[in-house]
Amino acid sequence: MIYDKLRTILYPGLERNIVDLKIVESVKTDNGQTVITLSMQNDEAFEVLTERIKEKLGAKTLVERKEALKKSIHYGHTAHPNNRAPYAKRVIAVTSGKGGVGKSTVAVNLSVALAQKGFKVGLLDADVYGPDIPRMLGCAHETLRWGDNDKIIPSENFGIKLMSVGLTTPSPDTPLVWRSSVAVSALIQFLEDVDWGELDFLVIDMPPGTGDIQLTMAQELPLAAGVIVTTPQPVALDDVSRAIMMFKDIHVPIGGLIENMSYFIAPDTGKRYDIFGTGGGEATAKKYGIPFLGAIPLDMRIRTHSDNGTPPTAMGDEAVKNLYKEIADRLLGVLQ
Ligand SMILES: Nc1ncnc2c1ncn2[C@@H]1O[C@H](COP(=O)(O)OP(=O)(O)O)[C@@H](O)[C@H]1O
Ligand SMILES: [Mg+2]
């Protein structure tokens, strides 16, 4: 009865209820008083849910929060996700609190760095509203191809396989106006109907923020790690805190945080400028007990290589390559 009522309560911002999300830790009745214990991290969402629960179950209901969640990369138990990608040994989701922070650039260069280490890597562009990966890998003008086995043949460049909704549209700049349920079905098809072969890593470039697509991926795939990209300014860090708390709530293991556009070194003088402030990413990682994977400077070579479809980790100079290689090494260390 109580569970039926709780099942009508949705997690703020998502179309999923708190019972299915395994956020309801326990329901007890003590001398006529109902006590609901929630296992969650997000303070704002906790307040909203407390109100919603009291509305449904009566104002006297006590809503508590389970304290002392483990500070490992595996928060609580995973919600027993499906596995739509049994061909991949590990699935890495690259996410961010907001757009434009360099998430896709990280996804591409992390993938290339892993491929350079000899791993078999597939990159799925799940950012259906900004599918930039084909351009960044120099495949923007390719279109979808089907193999004899009725599977989609992924594009391939710089040693990685790639699939993106960007490859399904007639031209690279066709806008996509999809409802999230349509986007989710397209992504599931990419997981199941693409001829990825055996992969050591499936890297997913997620849409920014926290919504249905992120949640679906967390439920349909056993994510080995979420990698969160942020820039150092306080507004971006606020968004990233929200994203971290949601990932903890839906049991996505967090592999670490990357601070992008962290500082700028003037090519002529060598002087360092902390344009957006610096160190905020590392402090945020510490605050939430998640690994800090590294800082990437604002560097024109990263932008030009990315725009030209020649990833800096493949075609850039050693200094730039090393930035992403070191991040890949740290991530591998976290995953051990
Ligand atoms: N470290 C960096 N230095 C310079 N330009 C960068 C850096 N990271 C990303 N960019 C550029 O910033 C823009 C946004 O990056 P992108 O990866 O597309 O962000 P997101 O996927 O988060 O929206 C792109 O033009 C990209 O080339
Ligand atoms: Mg992007």
pLDDT for position 31:
85
Are both 34 and 171 inside the same structural domain?
no
Average pLDDT over residues 296-301: 95
Task: Note whether 92 and 165 are same-domain residues.
Answer: yes
77 within some domain: no
Cβ(82)–Cβ(55) below 8 Å: no
Reported as a pLDDT band with limits 50, 70 and 90, residue 90 is: very high
> Does 105 contact ligand 1 (Cβ within 6 A)?
yes
* pLDDT at residue 298 is higher than 80: yes
Convert the pLDDT of each residue in 252-262 to its tens digit.
889 999 999 99
Q: Indicate if ligand 1 lies below 6 Å from the C-beta of 100.
A: yes
Check pocket membership of 230 for ligand 1, CB cut-off 6 A.
no
From the CB of 103, is ligand 1 less than 6 Å away? Answer: yes
- The arithmetic mean of pLDDT across residues 213-238, rounded, is 90
Is residue 295 helix, strand or coil?
Answer: strand
What confidence tens digit (pLDDT) does each residue in 124-146 have?
999 988 899 999 999 998 888 89
Contacts of 215 (CB under 8 A, 6+ apart): 14, 16, 250
81, part of any domain: no
Distance 203 CA to ligand 2 centre (A): 13
| DSSP structural state of residue 16 | S
Indicate which atom in ligand 1 lies nearest the CA of residue 105: 17
92 falls within a domain: yes
- Is the per-residue pLDDT at 173 higher than 70? no
Same-domain status, 183 and 55: no
Which atom of ligand 1 is closest in space to residue 303's alpha carbon?
27
Pick from 50-64, 117-131, 142-156, 169-183: least confident: 169-183
Tokens of 209: 């923020």
Nearest by Cα to 155 from 116, 188, 125: 125
* Separation of CA 230 and ligand 2 centre (Å): 12
Q: How far is the CA of 200 from the centre of ligand 1 (A)?
A: 26
Asked whether residue 96 is assigned to any structural domain, the reply reads yes
Question: Would residue 155 count as lying in a domain?
Answer: yes
Does the C-beta of 126 come closer than 6 Å to ligand 1? no
Say whether both 103 and 14 belong to one domain.
Answer: no
**What is the DSSP secondary-structure string of 176-223?**
----HHHHHHHHHHHHHHB---SEEEEEEEPPSSSSHHHHHHHHHS-E
Residue type, 79: A
Report whether residue 261 contacts ligand 1, using a CB cutoff of 6 Å.
yes
Residues 146 and 334: their CA atoms lie apart, in Å, by 37
Range of the domain at 245: 88-335
Which ligand sits closest to the CA of 136? Answer: 1
Ligand 1 proximity of 299 Cβ (cutoff 6 Å):
yes
Percent of the chain with pLDDT over 70: 93
Domain match, 230 and 314 both: yes
Q: Are residues 27 and 134 in the same domain?
A: no
- How many Å lie between the centroid of ligand 1 and the Cα of residue 328? 18
52 and 101 fall within a common domain:
no
Select from 276, 278, 306 the residue to mutate for testing ligand 1; criterion: most ligand atoms less than 8 Å from CB: 306
Q: Does any domain span residue 78?
A: no
Please write the tens of the pLDDT for every residue from 6-17: 999 998 888 888
**Closest CA to ligand 1's atom 9:** 102
Same domain? 122 vs 262: yes
Which domain CATH number covers 8? Answer: 3.30.300.130
**Higher pLDDT pick, 203 / 237:** 203
Please report whether residue 130 resides in a domain: yes
- Return the C-alpha torsion angle 175, 220, 87, 312, nearest 10: 40
**β-strands 33-38, 152-153 pairing:** unpaired
In this structure, the answer to whether residues 115 and 210 fall within a common structural domain is yes
- E strands, the chain, where? 24-30, 33-38, 62-65, 88-96, 121-125, 145-146, 152-153, 155-157, 160-164, 199-205, 223-230, 254-260, 264-265, 272-273, 292-296
State how many domains the chain has. Answer: 2
pLDDT grade for 172, boundaries at 50, 70 and 90: low
Spacing, Cα 6 to ligand 2 middle (Å): 36
Taking CA atoms only, the protein residue closest to ligand 1 atom 12 is: 102
Q: What ligand is nearest to the CA atom of residue 95?
A: 1
How high is the pLDDT of residue 175? 65
Residue 75 pLDDT exceeds 50 = no
Query: Do 106 and 244 sit in the same domain of this protein?
Result: yes
In this model, does residue 76 exceed pLDDT 60?
no
pLDDT band at 248 (very low <50, low <70, confident <90, very high): confident
Of the candidates 34, 65, 96, which is a domain's last residue? 65
pLDDT of residue 130: 86
| CATH assignment at residue 259 | 3.40.50.300
Residue 272 CB less than 6 A away from ligand 1: no
The first and second tokens of residue 47, run together, are: 């307040």
Q: Are 159 and 48 members of one domain?
A: no
Residue closest via CA to ligand 1's atom 11 equals 303
What average pLDDT does this structure show over 74-95? 77
Mean pLDDT in the chain? Answer: 89
Question: 289 in a domain, yes or no?
Answer: yes
User: Mean pLDDT over residues 220-238, rounded?
Assistant: 92
Are 155 and 43 in a shared domain? no
